[in-house]
Amino acid sequence: MTLLDGRPQPPAGTPEADALIEEARHRQRRRRWAISIVALLVAIVGAIAIFGLPGRTLPPRGASGTTAPHPSISRGQTGVGAHLHVNWDSVAGAAGSLWLLGEHTSASGTCFSILRTTNDGTSFTRVPVPPVSLPAKESEGEYGATVRFANRDDGYFYVHSPAARLYWTGDGGRHWRLSQPGGSSPWRASLPAGGLASTIVTTNGRAYALVPGDCSKLTCRSIALAASKVTTDTWTTTPLPVPADHGQVGLAAFGSTVWIMEIPNGGGDAYLLVSDDGGRTFSSLPSTGTLDGISCTATATSSVTLWGFCATGNGGFAVRSTDGGRLFSAVQVPGGESNSDRVLAISATEAIYVVPSSPYLLVTRDGGQHFASMLPSTEHEYASDVGFADKARWLALEFSQGGAVKQMWRTSNAGRTWQALKPPED
């Protein structure tokens, strides 16, 4: 027998045979090392192709459609960069997502932060914020911000201050664009006498906003309704026949039905307008019942059901209409007497009543006939804010007396049971 190189094979057990066996083993080990090194190089090249080189960031969205990634923030982590000590103020939800909005101080004054969660608060992703901050002197007065999304991509960021600003995003907050519902002239989304009932209302794929005009320190001589598809930032305006002595003006919408509520200066019975064609034309709506005060807000949960709240100066009360606003009836809520109470409407029969001076959230599931407390907290904290990812999945923020978020809660069964979560840090 001969070997592959043509040499004769020596007899087994001889020194020559042992040397050949050792040489064959040495060659086999070298081949294995070579194969391992090649496999490692292939793996490294593949990882670079998928994830990029260390420190590399993708370009922002441009003509190619590439979108820059967001750093992930899990519970208890500070995320990327310095700790900002954000005070979370509110939570909003839509289409399975929830957004936390908070503020923090910087060298320029008060700035804002937004976090998004798609798993009910288990982890959060930082969302870019429009380039806006409030000077320190503004932060001492009446100011704030709200965020509202119509779906997972299209949303609005509104800052109300002496210089009101509205921003629109069509990609989940990756990019924001300054919006001008009133056209090229500066937009004032707040009447001089106070804030609007609803800054932006979204329904049926459309957004609505009120645009005051010809304003002085005490009143505005005109007001218009701006409307746009939520997928674009192209607004059309319709003048509203609101009396010249109006004080607070509120807005509600569901489907193609739009309601405008006006309270006279100094308080009184509300003056209602209704549109059945998406705000193109309006008619007066004779309304009776208890829709009166110095200001009233309302939210529509169907084309005939509206939940609202009216402040009187000495207190306040909840209201509800089941006939499209023709009749509003008072809703008897245990202990609800503050001017700053709120009604968060969920459906035609369900709503949450927020009492700032109470540690509890009150919920009704029978149209306001009965209320029960929801959160398991027993400490005397200022009440929470609630955001709705959908009708069953909610996230609540429980505030301490100093205004900071002490506890975060989530539910997956419409508030029947709750799970405590640690508030995120940013």
Closest CA to 254 of 221, 298, 297: 298
Ranking 133-147, 171-185, 342-356 by mean pLDDT, the lowest is: 133-147
Instruction: Tell me the average pLDDT of the chain.
Output: 75
CB contact set of 366 (below 8 Å; sequence gap of 6+):
349
Q: According to the per-residue pLDDT averaged within each range, which of 205-219, 251-265, 396-410 is highest?
A: 251-265
pTM (two decimals): 0.76
Which has the higher per-residue pLDDT, 49 or 130?
130
| 122 pLDDT higher than 90 | yes
Which has the higher per-residue pLDDT, 348 or 162?
348
Which has the higher per-residue pLDDT, 108 or 323?
323
Looking at residue 28, its pLDDT comes to 52
What tokens does 368 get?
A: 């306001």
CB contact set of 361 (below 8 Å; sequence gap of 6+):
352, 353, 354, 373, 374, 375, 383, 384, 386, 396, 415
Looking at residue 386, its pLDDT comes to 92
Count of alpha carbons within 13 angstroms of residue 341, beta-carbon side: 31
- Taking residue 246's Cβ as centre, other Cβ atoms within 10 Å add up to 22
In this prediction, what percent of the chain has a pLDDT beyond 90? 36
Domain layout of the chain by residue ranges: 1-50
CB contact set of 15 (below 8 Å; sequence gap of 6+):
none
pLDDT tens digits, one per residue of 213-230: 776 665 667 788 999 999
Q: According to the per-residue pLDDT averaged within each range, which of 34-48, 49-63, 120-134 is highest?
A: 120-134
CA dist., res. 40 & res. 30, Å (int): 15
pLDDT tens digits, one per residue of 308-364: 988 888 888 899 999 999 999 999 888 766 777 889 999 999 999 987 766 568 899
Contact 75, 422 (CB under 8 A): yes
Contact 355, 362 (CB under 8 A): yes
Mode of pairing for the β-strands spanning 288-289 and 327-331 = parallel
Looking at residue 18, its pLDDT comes to 54
Looking at residue 143, its pLDDT comes to 65
Looking at residue 380, its pLDDT comes to 55
Contact 415, 346 (CB under 8 A): no
| 38 pLDDT higher than 70 | no
Looking at residue 426, its pLDDT comes to 66
